[in-house]
Amino acid sequence: MSIALSNARVLRGTSLVADQSVIIADGRIVQVGPTAATRTAGIERVDLGGGLLLPGFIDVQVNGGGGVLFNDAPTVESIRQIGRAHRRFGTTGFLPTLISTDLEVVAQAIEATRQAIAAGIPGVLGIHIEGPFLSVERKGVHDPAKLRELDDSAVGLLTSLGVGRTVVTLAPEVTTPHIIRRLADAGVIVSAGHTNATYTETTAALRNGLRGFTHLFNAMSQLTSREPGVVGAALEDRASWCGIIVDGEHIAPAVLRLALRCKPHDRFMLVTDAMPALGTDIRSFELQGRHINVCGPSCYDEEGRLAGSNIDLASCVRNAIELLGVPLHEAVHMASLYPADFLGLAGELGRIEPGYRANLVLTDERLHVRATWIDGQFQQQ
C-alpha cells in the first residue's frame, strides 16, 4: 500500500524544505515534492503537522539497549530488543556490536545476525565485531584474557556472515597488513580501535584496506610532537571515516571541533557505543564480571574508566549542533548519510530521495523523535 507523508519540512541536501510530501510504496520512496503538487489520488495521506522529516539515523556501534547486552545473549531476540530500544530515538539502522570475547561467542553472534536479517528484524544492517584482536595497552574495559592476535585462522570466521555488513575493529599492530587486505578484499569493513599502533603501522594499514577508526581519540595512541600515532594518521587521512561519541564526556568538545577542521566533515559519523541501560532506568550492570555504573550520558567501571555510553543518536545530533557548532543538516548527515557511506549503503540509505529505502525519522523543532519508519513501516513514539 502507498502512503503520502504530507505537510513536512523535509531535509533535502543542506536545506529543510517546507510543505513537502514523501510518497512511499513497497518500502521505498517513490516521490518527493510540494504537498499541493504531489499526486496522491487514492493514496492514504498522513499529515505530519509541519514536523521535521529526516533520513533515519544509522548507528554502527551498538553494544546494547533496552536492558540487553549483546555479549550476554548473542541471539535474534536480543538484536530485536536492542533495535527496539534505539528506534525510540530515531535509529532506523544499526550494527549490534560484540565486545571482545571467545571466538565461539563471535560465531554465535554472527549466526544470530544472519538469522535476524533473514527474519526481517527492523533496522539490523549487519554486525560490528569489536575485538578480540586488540591491544592490551589500549584495552579500556575489554577483558585482557580475551584478547589475541589476528592470524589466518580467524579470517574465515570474520568473513562468514554472507549478508548485510560486517565491521571488524582491530588493532593494526596485532595483525599484518596482508591479513587486513584479505579482510577488506572479502568485503569486511576494517576499523582501527583499542590500538597502540604507531603512525607508520597505521598508515600501512590504511594502504591495505583499513577504512575507519572506532571512537576516535578514545583507546588509541595519541597525536604527539614526534609520534603522530593513530590519531594523527586518522586526522591526516582524508579518505577514512572516524566514529565520534559526542556526549561531552568521551572527548572534550574543543578537541572534536579541532578534529573537524582536519578532514572533510563527511568522514565523521556519530556513534553511541551504547550499553544496555539505554532506554531504561538501569543505573548499573555487569560487563564480563565488571560492575559498571551509569552516570548521565556515560558509563564507568569501578576504577573510573569509561565503559561505553548511555546516550542515543538523537541526543548526539543535538550535541553536535550545540557543542560542535555544526549546522543542523550536517549533524543529521553525520548520523545518517555518512555512516551509510561508511557501510557502502549510501545508494539506498541516508537521503530522502526517490528510490531510497523509506527509513525516516520525524522530529519536533528540538529534534525530539515523534515517529520513525523502517522500510516504510511506521512506529509512533
Contact 191, 211 (CB under 8 A): yes
273 in any annotated domain: yes
Number of domains, the chain: 2
- pLDDT above 70 covers what percent of the chain? 99
| Claim to verify: residue 67 and residue 126 sit in the same structural domain | yes
The model's confidence at residue 38, banded by pLDDT at 50, 70 and 90, is: confident
347 in any annotated domain: no
257 in any annotated domain: yes
pTM of the predicted model over 0.95 = yes
Please tell me the distance from the alpha carbon of residue 247 to that of residue 257, in angstroms, as a whole number.
Answer: 14
Query: Using one digit for the tens of pLDDT, what is the confidence trace for 268-305?
Result: 999 999 999 999 999 999 999 999 999 999 999 999 99
Which domain CATH number covers 37?
A: 2.30.40.10
Task: Please choose, from the candidates 85, 87, 64, 163, the residue with its C-alpha nearest in 3D space to the C-alpha of residue 359.
Answer: 87
Q: In the numeric block, which cell numbers belong to residue 75?
A: 541471539
Helices (H), 12-138: 76-87, 103-118
Does residue 39 have a pLDDT over 90? Answer: no
* Known catalytic residue at 273: yes
Mean pLDDT score of the chain: 97
| Claim to verify: residue 232 and residue 356 sit in the same structural domain | no
pLDDT of residue 224: 98
Where residue 376 falls (left for φ over 0; alpha for ψ -120 to 50; beta otherwise) is left
The stretch 232-238 carries a mean pLDDT of 98
| Claim to verify: residue 226 and residue 298 sit in the same structural domain | yes
Give the domain range for residue 26: 3-50+352-380
Contact 171, 185 (CB under 8 A): no
Catalytic residue among 273, 281, 312, 375: 273
pLDDT of residue 37: 76
